[in-house]
Chains A and B, each alone.
Chain A
Amino acid sequence: MRKLLIPIQGDFVAPRFDLATEIFMARFENGEVVGEPKTIIMERPSDEGLCQMIVEEHITDVVCGGIEELHYNFLVWKKVKVLDGIIGGWQMALEKALSGRLQQGEILQQNSDEPLSL
């Protein structure tokens, strides 16, 4: 079973990993969420704290917006699959990540499954 973490801000994937205070976490298997997802609210934004949480919670997949190279490399070194540069609603990002259709740097439209073409 895998475990996904998404730093969020309201209804959206948090634009910056280092400034996120809301964290969505869910276990998943075969494209389906297993059990009750968790929403964690951090005392203050902290990229180091978030990395520590990812390791302690045995997260296997991270979906996020902008992330510092240092932290990206750390997480990859820890064998975490990181899909960064995601812009858009976190629920759509979650659905696409679970089905394996989310791509790095994808911009998700609010009311459509299709990525925006720039």
Chain B
Amino acid sequence: MSATLTRDDLLRAYRTMRTIREFEERLHVEFATGEIPGFVHLYAGEEASATGVCLHLRPDDRIASTHRGHGHCIAKGMEVAPMMAEIYGKKTGICGGKGGSMHVADLDVGMMGANGIVGGGGPLICGAALAAKMKGTDGVGVCFFGDGASNQGMILEAMNLATVWRLPALFVAENNGYAEATSSKYSVACDNIADRAGGFGMPGVIVDGHDFFAVHEAAGEAIARARAGGGPTLLEVKLNRYYGHFEGDQQTYRATDEVKRIRETRDCLMLFTRRVSSAGLLDLAELEAIDRDVAAQIDAAVVAAKAAPKPTAADLLTDVYVEYA
């Protein structure tokens, strides 16, 4: 399992997953106070997916994300303080308060944006992969999307195009079982999203999204193949979200205790901790130190975001065009 993972990798993976969890849990609390504008979609429970994939990526690799994008942002290397400020709609936000939770992005680290349009990232990541191919780098593009987007034409077209152009791309279907309140058992016409890969001439792989190590291994193979010119892969990560489609969703459509049961038995952080400590790779004290550090970091981010100024009237009209006569 960890043949390719160094001790530093493991520490990094844990810190990333913990940062995402802490970020989302804190947002869950803070959103309820009414201080955060708009709405947020939390990634808690799905951390192993973003982390397992992005641990393979370099800054010049690109990812496209979804409306549930905070985890992808953090895993791709974005700073939490400007992200938090963005979600609060502040001028100090990574996007100056003009994007918000659903459009948080940082092109400097290869994060091409959360996306308010379900499936919107598929074509974009084909473009990122095409750019890498044209420039002759061995960079890759990774598109994260959900089970809802797996039925969206843009994603299906993008997967076909990626194979036709033999693009260095990876399509990561994060199947958390629900598109808003509609179960994927109802809305996806085949048993697995990965079953569709054959129709697009690419390998389809299914992994358990609660298991960081499984995601990491499968993503590693797919990304190495893409870098080597072997074309795209569809990776279906089966996982669960802990919170509703958006904050305020009471999840009455889910079975009683469904989330509680998953949290207690299959939580990705719990499985990771159990695995690394039983194998003697990391000790619990180290992980607890990371927990304390991350908690302090998120707390500082929230305090700073709350204190930060809002954008002003002068900001309304800027950043539409590079230049406009």
- The judgment on whether A and B are partners is no
B residues sitting closer than 8 Å to A (CB atoms) are none
